[in-house]
Amino acid sequence: MTTLLFLPAGETGFRWMRVADARVVGEGEGIPDAIDDETIAVAPADAVTLHWAELPSRSAAQATAAARILASEASASPLAELHVAVGDEGASDRPIGVVGAATMRDWLLMLAEAGVDPVAVIPAPMLLPRPEEGYARAELAGSGVVRGTSSGFADEARLTELVTGGTAPATIDRDTLEAAIVAAVASPPLDLRQGPFARRRRFAIDWGLIRRLALLSLTILAVTLAISLVRIAKYSFGADALEAEANTVAVTGLPRGETVVDASRQLDERLSRVRGPGLGFTSTTAAVFAAVRATPGTEVTALDFQANGDLRLSVAVEREALATDLKRALESAGFSVRAGVFQAAAGRVTGDLTISPESGR
């Protein structure tokens, strides 16, 4: 059910009309006791100037801008004092409503004081059907209204004769008028509540939407958690498989029959035993023989690899200076060298060098 609330005009106060089930079900004076959210205000015909023009249909902003230009050319009032609204009747030319901005504010304030926030404000002539030709007249809320193919105004004897050229408007029968009112209520052809006077939408919490969003969020969190758990489990199983494989490989590197307790530690211990302490026998002797070859006139007479990783080297050199050169060569290779007492006999100089890995190597 929709209530049409006709705004006061002259000495006439508020009037109302109710529409339900595609017909007018009641009328009365004043403001009805029960006001619903589907109340439409009807502006007096003599307070709104109507025009029709072909305007852009793609953009509401462009259509309004063009309508304001037309209104400024047809009105003596400054454009800043006018409120211009654009409608649509489905034809090539579109209705344009022009009303004073102050008047529009007064109407909305008056309605607010009466506890009414209308969903739309329709000029009274727009409730009449648009005639195919000539003019049509009807009584609305106790006032006569005239509608033409491109005009709409209050029925005043001299004004009507002037506009119609002396041709009397055809009177609209009750059924046709009710059908036009029902159509206008369902889809207002021109609503003055546009731009700065547009109705503000009330904020309402859609609890159903909030519940759906909450459920969706919980689902996303659950899926994310499940993905993380699966990934952790996958990594854990992978680590266990790698550890088992490492133990299997480690067994092949340990002596046959040895119990595997800590494969990594046991392999390190075996490697230490195989290569010897310190840098190991192989690495140490390789470096020593490289230094000997690089020092002509020197030869190794004895080797003694000791338990602490030191290598005791007995050498014979042609002259004492070569012993010093050999010592420096070994030190350059990264070893700590301690020289013993060298003695000369039978044209050769012999002695011992104790070679130790430097700390940190």
The per-residue pLDDT for 165 is 85
The per-residue pLDDT for 219 is 93
Beta-carbon count within 10 A of 140 CB: 22
Same domain flag for 261 and 293: no
Same domain flag for 223 and 167: no
Q: Which is more confidently placed, 350 or 259?
A: 350
pTM of the model: 0.56
Same domain flag for 324 and 182: no
Residue 210 lies in a domain: no
Same domain flag for 41 and 188: yes
Confidence grade of residue 122 (pLDDT, cut at 50, 70, 90): very high
Same domain flag for 124 and 140: yes
Q: Which of 139, 165, 197 lies at the terminal end of a domain, its last residue?
A: 197
Same domain flag for 47 and 147: yes
The per-residue pLDDT for 35 is 73
The per-residue pLDDT for 126 is 94
The per-residue pLDDT for 124 is 93
Across 324-335, average pLDDT: 87
Distance CA 311, CA 280 (A): 10
Confidence grade of residue 255 (pLDDT, cut at 50, 70, 90): low
Across 57-77, average pLDDT: 83
The per-residue pLDDT for 242 is 83
Q: Which is more confidently placed, 128 or 275?
A: 128
Same domain flag for 6 and 99: yes
Cα angle: 170, vertex 187, 99; to 5 degrees: 70
Q: Which is more confidently placed, 140 or 92?
A: 140
Residue 209 lies in a domain: no
Distance CA 92, CA 87 (A): 12
Same domain flag for 242 and 178: no
Residue 16 lies in a domain: yes
In tens, the pLDDT along 5-29 reads 999 987 788 999 999 888 888 888 9
Q: Which is more confidently placed, 305 or 87?
A: 87
The per-residue pLDDT for 21 is 85
State the total domains in the chain.
3
Across 139-143, average pLDDT: 87
**Which residues span the domain enclosing 262?**
215-275
Residue 50 has pLDDT above 70, yes or no: yes
The per-residue pLDDT for 125 is 94
Residue 260 has pLDDT above 70, yes or no: no
The per-residue pLDDT for 1 is 83
Please state, rounded to an integer, the average pLDDT across all residues of the chain: 85
Distance CA 267, CA 317 (A): 41
Distance CA 258, CA 81 (A): 104
Q: For residue 337, what are the β-bridge partners?
A: 355
The lowest-confidence range among 11-15, 262-266, 347-351 is 262-266
In tens, the pLDDT along 168-217 reads 899 999 999 999 999 999 999 999 999 899 987 665 677 888 899 999 99
The per-residue pLDDT for 91 is 81
Residue 98 has pLDDT above 90, yes or no: yes
Distance CA 133, CA 164 (A): 11
Same domain flag for 157 and 184: yes
